[in-house]
Structure 1
């Protein structure tokens, strides 16, 4: 078995895992947008201020990427993660603006051991991402797959 810290057994229902903080800057937002989402409000401060965003706003895909990095840093890179079968939902509630500092949390909703793959468990979670004002920027729900630390023990 692995010596990773986070295994299936560690994801108890109701557990909250803190994410961040992470401050985003204009340069990284613009670099991403220029490559993958070159809309004016993601590339130019003036265009961003003139838009509904009210400032240079990050692409939603950039926001999702930052979200993923924060999860990796908090627990995924030190886990038995085997990936995810997908995202149930991803919502953007408030624009991510250059200079925002993000914090967040992962909340464990449910879990179950795989009936077809011994040693593998499914963990359903909800993630929330907040700006420095405590405003919800984005939320996501998905199921992750994790190896069991003790596959023979009852989970």
Structure 2
């Protein structure tokens, strides 16, 4: 988390432990881009690695709803909101997805969302199933 912030988002509340400790955060917080990178890794590992997917036409929403701290346990959730044939990618459908990342307590129960996103992805369309007519 700190290495990422030092390289890509070196703002004081991400990298300066002394200043962050005296702030409202109480400790350094993760860069939002680090947090979204964790979400993306889970999406790649658990969705894209198992799907015939192309690129994404983009994000519609990205919100960091609470700070993330070193040692936080996080869980991601994805919901399909809509699907339609793609006009830009023949043979693919555009799927609109909603994602959240949630902080988990020591008991594994959700404590609150830290990230909310809405985005689209292109996924290969399955050919229609042929059903024999009796």
Q: Which category describes the TM-score, using the shorter chain as reference length?
A: 0.7 to 0.9
Counterpart in 1 of 2:125? 148
More moved, 81-90 vs 69-78: 69-78
More moved, 130-139 vs 120-129: 130-139
**Deviation digits for residues 115-149 of structure 1 (CA, Å, limit 9, x no counterpart):** 46431100001001001132110100001101123
What RMSD in Å do the two structures reach over aligned CA positions?
1.6
1:20-44 deviations in Å (ceiling 9; x for gaps): xxxxxxxxx1111111111121113
Q: Number of residues paired by the alignment?
A: 124
Specify whether residues 107 and 49 from structure 1 end up closer, same or farther in structure 2 by C-alpha distance, changes over 3 A only.
same
What is the 5 A alignment of 1:89-128?
Answer: 89-115=61-87, 117-128=89-100
- After TM superposition, what 4+ stretches of structure 1 lie above 3 angstroms from structure 2? 115-118
The structure showing larger relative contact order (alpha-carbon pairs under 8 Å, at least 6 residues apart) is 1
Q: Deviations over 1:91-118 (max 9, x none)?
A: 0110011000100200000001124643
Alignment CA distance shift 1:56-1:147 (3 Å): same
Q: In structure 2, what is the Cα distance between the partners aligned to 1:58 and 1:79?
A: 30
TM-score by length of 2: 0.85
Does residue 70 in structure 1 map to residue 53 in structure 2? no
Q: CA deviation at 1:48?
A: 2.1
**Deviation sequence 1:38-77 (CA, Å, 0-9, x none):** 1121113332222232322001111111110111111112
**Higher Cα Rg, which structure:** 2
Where do residues 1-20 of structure 1 align in structure 2 (5 Å cutoff)?
A: none
